[in-house]
């Protein structure tokens, strides 16, 4: 259970391999779903229960659903699955071998610095300097996004709005 | 494009660059780059033909990869230093990855392959924004990380860029591709200066932007995209042939024009630091740049190129294009050199 984040990270990368070896998008969506679910697990292991469920709700339940419907509309007659095309299979195999090598390299340093970095959360939590009492630190983080990070909210909201404007402008055609 | 949408998109392009230039948090820098890239895509796609869609796709893919590398560099810096501030020196690994990311965004060799193809597939006005405004944000990031840039990497990028920019532009007749290779070569000069004196790199950037704006605006005035149609300038606007001559020679770096000032300053800074071979090589490859600018001026200004009889009466017709700010830009792009003693203020 100490290495659960490590295992989930490996599954995360393997899920990414599933779509970056470029099968047809319908099959790539499977890789995205697996990676999304596993990513939720990783976030939850760092006390991020709200954000993890947000990944499932908004990312998988919102964006992925739209992506799935779009690729279902734009499907081709003979879609490529991972084993139908040698290039896709080769890419997947190369990625898997590289990931395996990386995993064995990291596990080979089990008694060294690398693993203690995984279980030490101090680097990743910026607002850990204060004492929040009995409030979950993640809730403090989410709420400080709206107080200290107001500018970030403004910029992100504007980016989303401009994203929609840009997409409608591009797909408008002549 | 709908004016309301155009205003929003232009505002976002400007806002993205300003956010990159003024942020103290690395995540905001990345957000600024993404905003900039997202909003410039419809500007690059003013005409809806497959060629411009292909150019937009190539631009989007390379810039998205570069943003991804930037995010990797930010994450590496976070793991090693534990903070997100841009004011602190970067971890060496993060510095290398970030330099590569900025090199991809600027179009430095060996990541230069997208620049001529994207420049060729879009309108002249979009090419103007691509080659001038889009260079501001990556150069500001390179300026901020210049104390910790790996010198081997940046000088390799610089040497390759001046060589590719010189030799690549030799076989071109399309003006947009010529300006793209000119941009690659000038970026090479800027990154060489960045090693020793970032201020001279900024000077080169400002003068390069003025020169490129002038040149592209003159091309836009005649709506020329090929050398052949540029050679008809003496029929349409004879006064512009002189301006094209002066501006192109300035772009090639000839004294006593403005374009010589950044090259002179950069060579001075390099030789002050006991570098002799590098500036010699850069000057020799700048001659290649000068050759294809001279070829343009030969067919445009120095000879009255033959044309059909219909073309010969175009100067009698009233011009329909407005020349926004062109006279001051022409003066700025040719006559700044006597102001060079003002650079003593930088000491």
The tokens of A50 are what?
């709200």
State the DSSP string of B244-295.
Answer: HHHHHHHHTT-TTSTTHHHHHHHHHHHHHTT--HHHHHHHHHHHHHHHHHHH
Residue B224: Cβ within 10 Å count? 20
Instruction: Give the three-class secondary structure for B84.
Output: coil
Is residue A18 within 8 Å of A42, Cβ to Cβ? no
The tokens of B223 are what?
């709506």
Q: How far apart are CA A66 and CA A79, in angstroms?
A: 19
Residues 6+ apart with CB under 8 A from A125: A46, A137
Distances (CA, A) of A91 to A24, A29, A34, A82: 14, 17, 19, 9
Residue from the list B38, B82, B84 with its beta carbon closest to the beta carbon of A163:
B38
CB contact under 8 A, A158 and B15: yes
Could you give phi then psi for residue B149, rounded to 5 degrees? -70, 140
Question: For each of chain B's 347 residues, which pLDDT tens digit applies?
Answer: 889 999 999 999 999 999 999 999 999 999 999 999 999 999 999 888 899 999 999 999 999 999 999 999 999 999 888 889 999 999 999 999 999 999 999 999 899 999 999 999 999 999 999 999 999 999 999 999 999 999 999 999 999 999 999 999 999 999 999 999 999 999 999 999 999 999 999 999 999 999 999 999 999 998 899 999 999 989 888 889 999 999 999 999 998 999 999 999 999 999 999 999 999 999 999 999 999 999 999 999 999 888 888 888 888 888 788 878 899 999 999 999 999 999 888 76
Contacts of A168 in chain B (CB under 8 A): 5
Enumerate long-range contacts of B233-238, CB under 8 Å, 24 or more apart: B233/B300, B233/B301, B234/B300, B234/B301, B234/B304, B234/B305, B235/B307, B235/B311, B235/B312, B235/B313, B235/B314, B235/B315, B236/B314, B236/B315, B237/B315, B237/B319, B238/B315
Q: In three state form, how does the secondary structure of B102-140 look?
A: HHHHHCCCCCCCHHHHHHHHCCHHHHHHHHHHHHHHHHH
**How long a stretch of residues is chain A?**
174
Q: B38 CB near a chain A CB, below 8 Å?
A: yes
Instruction: Give the three-class secondary structure for A132.
Output: coil
Contacts of B1 in chain A (CB under 8 A): 169
* Extents of the domains making up chain B: 83-345
Looking at the structure, do residues A21 and A85 belong to the same domain, yes or no? yes
Closest-CA residue of chain A to B84: A126
Looking at the structure, do residues A107 and A158 belong to the same domain, yes or no? no
Looking at the structure, do residues A96 and A116 belong to the same domain, yes or no? yes
CB contact under 8 A, B38 and A162: yes
CA B100, B106, B112, B113 torsion: positive or negative? Answer: positive
Residue A47: Cβ within 10 Å count? 16
Looking at the structure, do residues A89 and A156 belong to the same domain, yes or no? no
Looking at the structure, do residues A83 and A150 belong to the same domain, yes or no? no
Q: Is A29 left (phi over 0), alpha (psi -120 to 50) or beta?
A: alpha
Closest-CA residue of chain B to A156: B31
Contacts of A158 in chain B (CB under 8 A): 12, 15, 35
Looking at the structure, do residues A24 and A102 belong to the same domain, yes or no? yes
Chain A residues interacting with chain B (CB cutoff of 8 angstroms): 117, 122-123, 126, 151-152, 155-156, 158-159, 161-163, 165-166, 168-170, 173-174
Is residue A61 within 8 Å of A84, Cβ to Cβ? no
Instruction: Give the three-class secondary structure for A143.
Output: helix
Instruction: Give the three-class secondary structure for B234.
Output: helix
What's the complex ipTM? 0.87
Q: How far apart are CA B128 and CA B43, in angstroms?
A: 11
Give the total number of structural domains in chain A: 2
Is residue B200 within 8 Å of B269, Cβ to Cβ? yes
Could you give phi then psi for residue B325, rounded to 5 degrees? 65, 15
Q: How far apart are CA B63 and CA B85, in angstroms?
A: 23
Q: How far apart are CA A47 and CA A35, in angstroms?
A: 19
Banded model confidence at residue A122, pLDDT cuts 50, 70, 90: very low
Q: How far apart are CA B200 and CA B263, in angstroms?
A: 9
Mind telling me how many Å the CA of A174 is from chain B's nearest CA?
6
Looking at the structure, do residues A71 and A156 belong to the same domain, yes or no? no
CB contact under 8 A, B12 and A158: yes
Q: B20 CB near a chain A CB, below 8 Å?
A: no
Looking at the structure, do residues A11 and A78 belong to the same domain, yes or no? yes
Looking at the structure, do residues A145 and A110 belong to the same domain, yes or no? no
Is residue B334 within 8 Å of B246, Cβ to Cβ? yes
Domain range for residue A146? 133-173
Closest-CA residue of chain B to A120: B79
Looking at the structure, do residues A24 and A87 belong to the same domain, yes or no? yes
Looking at the structure, do residues A41 and A73 belong to the same domain, yes or no? yes
**Which DSSP state fits B237?**
-
Looking at the structure, do residues A164 and A103 belong to the same domain, yes or no? no
Least Cα distance to A33 among A2, A11, A49 occurs for: A11
Is residue B108 within 8 Å of B187, Cβ to Cβ? yes
Closest-CA residue of chain B to A170: B42
Residue from the list B9, B56, B82 with its beta carbon closest to the beta carbon of A162:
B9
Residue B22: Cβ within 10 Å count? 12
Contacts of A161 in chain B (CB under 8 A): 8
- Does the pTM surpass 0.95? The reply is no
């Amino acid at each position: 259970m100490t290495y659960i984040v490590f295992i989930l990270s490996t599954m995360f990368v393997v899920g990414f391999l599933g779509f970056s070896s470029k099968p047809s998008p319908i099959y790539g969506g499977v890789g995205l779903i697996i990676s999304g679910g596993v990513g939720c697990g990783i976030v939850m292991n760092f006390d991020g229960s709200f954000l993890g469920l947000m990944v499932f709700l908004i990312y998988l339940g919102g964006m992925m659903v739209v992506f799935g419907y779009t690729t279902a509309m734009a499907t081709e007659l003979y879609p490529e699955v991972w084993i139908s095309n040698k290039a896709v299979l080769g890419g997947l195999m190369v990625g898997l071998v590289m990931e395996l090598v990386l995993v064995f390299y990291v596990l080979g340093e089990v008694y060294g610095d690398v693993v203690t970095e995984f279980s030490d959360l101090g680097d990743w939590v910026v607002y850990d300097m204060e004492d929040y009492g009995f409030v979950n630190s993640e809730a403090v983080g989410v709420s400080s996004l709206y107080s200290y990070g107001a500018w970030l909210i403004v910029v992100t909201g504007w980016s989303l709005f401009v994203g929609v404007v840009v997409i409608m402008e591009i797909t408008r055609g002549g | 494009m709908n004016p309301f949408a155009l205003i929003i998109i232009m505002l976002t392009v400007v806002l993205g660059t300003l956010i990159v230039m003024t942020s103290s948090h690395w995540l905001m820098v990345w957000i600024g780059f993404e905003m900039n890239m997202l909003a410039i895509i419809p500007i690059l796609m003013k005409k809806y033909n497959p060629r411009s869609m292909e150019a937009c796709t190539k631009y989007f893919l390379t810039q998205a990869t570069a943003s991804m590398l930037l995010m990797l560099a930010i994450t590496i810096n976070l793991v090693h230093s534990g903070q997100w501030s841009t004011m602190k020196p970067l971890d060496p690994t993060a510095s290398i990855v970030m330099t590569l990311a900025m090199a991809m965004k600027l179009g430095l060799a060996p990541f230069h392959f997208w620049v001529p193809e994207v420049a060729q597939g879009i309108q002249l006005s979009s090419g103007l924004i691509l080659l001038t405004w889009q260079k501001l944000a990556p150069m500001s990031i390179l300026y901020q990380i210049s104390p910790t840039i790996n010198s081997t990497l940046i000088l390799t990028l610089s040497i390759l860029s001046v060589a590719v920019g010189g030799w690549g532009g030799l076989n071109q007749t399309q003006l947009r591709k010529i300006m793209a290779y000119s941009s690659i070569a000038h970026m090479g000069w800027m990154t060489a200066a960045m090693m020793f004196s970032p201020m001279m790199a900024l000077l080169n950037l400002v003068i390069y932007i003025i020169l490129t704006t002038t040149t592209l605006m003159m091309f836009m005035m005649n709506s020329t995209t090929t050398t052949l149609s540029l050679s008809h300038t003496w029929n349409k606007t004879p006064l512009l042939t002189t301006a094209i001559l002066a501006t192109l020679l300035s772009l090639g770096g000839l004294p006593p024009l403005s374009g010589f000032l950044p090259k002179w300053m950069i060579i001075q800074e390099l030789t002050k630091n006991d570098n002799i071979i590098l500036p010699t090589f850069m000057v020799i490859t700048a001659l290649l740049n000068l050759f294809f600018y001279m070829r343009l001026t030969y067919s445009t200004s120095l000879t009255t190129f033959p044309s059909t009889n219909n073309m010969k009466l175009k100067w009698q017709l009233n011009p329909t294009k407005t020349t926004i700010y062109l006279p001051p830009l022409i003066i700025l792009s040719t006559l700044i050199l006597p102001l060079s003693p003002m650079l003593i203020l930088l000491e």
